[in-house]
Structure 1
Amino acid sequence: MTLHLRPVQFVDTPVTQTDGAVARLAGGLQWFAAYEVIEGGTKRTVPVADIATLGARAQALHAAITSPRAPLVLGERTLRLDQPLVAGILNVTPDSFSDGGQHSADPAAAAAAGVDMAAAGAALIDLGGESTRPGAAQVWEGDEIARIQPVVERLARSGTLISIDTRKAAVMEAALAAGAQIVNDVSALLWDDRALAVVAQAGCPVVLMHSPDPKEGGHARTGYRDVLTEVFDWLDARIAAVVAAGVDRSRIIVDPGIGFGKTLSENLALLNGLALFHGLGCPIMLGASRKRMIGALDNEAPVAARLGGSLALALKGAEAGVQLLRVHDVSATVQALRVWRGLRDRALAGG
């Protein structure tokens, strides 16, 4: 029976707490007083102060959950991960579920849109040249490179930080050579046999996302007994494999894969349990913007009418200590996070 820990009983401030009664979540803005201990299909709540009574695995998880996340040093730029940051989504595809076709015809206009998102407060731009929506056609790597390379070059010249959203090693190589700094792979470096070696050699940060069938597209429905702990264990094993292949653990970011091969109920369970993933000891990226689950919860709202739900999920991530929020609506999300940060700062001060 494998033990898992989910931080619970969040508190406004540690100031009024006795020593050792609360712990700081991943060096960020949140503090918590207890853990939900998940083991053998049972759950119980244990105060943070009693963590030593739970054994070596629990203490190792506690250390991972509470340790500050190292900043991402990207050339002359550094991303601090002690507060939530926004990654703006920029797709240069004709068929992405939300913005397909919007930026696919004109690299200069696409890059300008990315610069605008950065000016609105996005810490980086997540650029994709192939849709990963259910049923999307695969794109030949040459076509994908032709879509993203001129946009990466323009964004890099503007000083904008770029992550390349791709499963293909050749596209990763082209994007990194053109000025991208991060690889974001929805297959966790499993779709392309060369991808892991490319990332290891480049030494760049990489986002490893969970899906139930990464070699087949990521959208198969496999069924879970406990989606939260099973996704955690899958990511834990994947991190170990990637580290063994030469990638520094401090360069790994994890994504639970909202909407990839999961039911509405499973997506909600992951979102409610996000804090558990801090036990992996890596920064967390959350990509829930405009996704199908929002429509499912709001009378089948179309993609263009999902801003409110997207903001709610972004704030849910912030409350759980998520470090990177991947969103379409940068300006609105940044404003929501600034207000949230103001509330947190006042609460931390004791009022």
Structure 2
Amino acid sequence: MSTSNTLNLSKKPRISVAPMMDWTTKDYRYFARLFNPNIVLYTEMVTTGAIIFGDEKRHLDFNTQEQPLVLQLGGSSPKDLAHCSKIGQDYGYQEINLNVGCPSDRVQNNKIGACLMAEPDLVAECITSMQHAVQIPVHIKHRIGIDDMQSYEEMLHFVDTVAATGCQHFVVHARIALLKGLSPKENRDVPPLRYEDVYRLKRERPHLFIEINGGIKTVEETLQHLKHVDGVMIGREAYHNPYLLAEIGHALWNDEHPDRFDIIQNMLPYIEQRLAQGAPLSIITRHILGLFQNLPGARKWRQALSGGQAKTIDDIHHAVQQMQDAIQRTEAYLAQHQSINDE
């Protein structure tokens, strides 16, 4: 598999979309790329077991248009992680990321995710094995702490231990994960955000590339974080309001604002291709519900496409027409009232 873009690791700032289970599928990633050519996209976390014992192609296949793209792996066996990193490199991924942040009970039971923060030496061994297996960058995504390991000093020890392997890039979710007592959903919201810990990490380890993650929802917040760190990773807001990615592109790189109707028109050939491959329409349309977030008619757009309401491509065309009509009515109403006010 060839790559269409070259990931420039020296380019600052770096904006990425977080790996999110069931959300950052290849269908979403293709859609997200239409908003911004510069953001870095991640796969969902893929466990080493799923690759070694499961359907490798289903888990790893992607479209070259998604690049720059990072494969996030979940696992704790240095040997298995090295093997799967090599497979990922062969598929054409431009970077490999190790998940040390997921608080799910399921992954804890398999020694995957945030629980590994309690074993920095093992994580360092995993990173070393992965680095030796590939020629592409290997990095890590982790929390600022877990359970009884909540201090800044403990996080710094973890980072220093991993950095000793030569790993230079740390994506830091600015919340602790409480593995005993909170659900994965609660761990996304309940522990307070501690951005200052991540800022301090960058100040005290300026040679490391530090990317911040957690609760970031606006262009203004993104720009504020970039005063302190090297990159920003956007999570759920990039899914629910994907036009944020376009707004960030305009703010940082002076990219033109893409037209939302052009985006859906560019998405339609891909949807037709996926349908021809046998994919149900509903697994694709669920990823595009946020296209018109915050615009008049957005609720009807979501209703028309969610829950399997859309059965064919024609249903999407009809929903697009409804959105165009809603926006035109609103614009006409505003123009009329502006004319009255001017008089």
TM-score, normalising length: structure 1: 0.44
The structure that is helix-richer by fraction is 2
Larger RCO (CA within 8 A; separation ≥ 6): 1
Q: Considering only CA atoms, is the larger Rg found in Structure 1 or Structure 2? A: 2
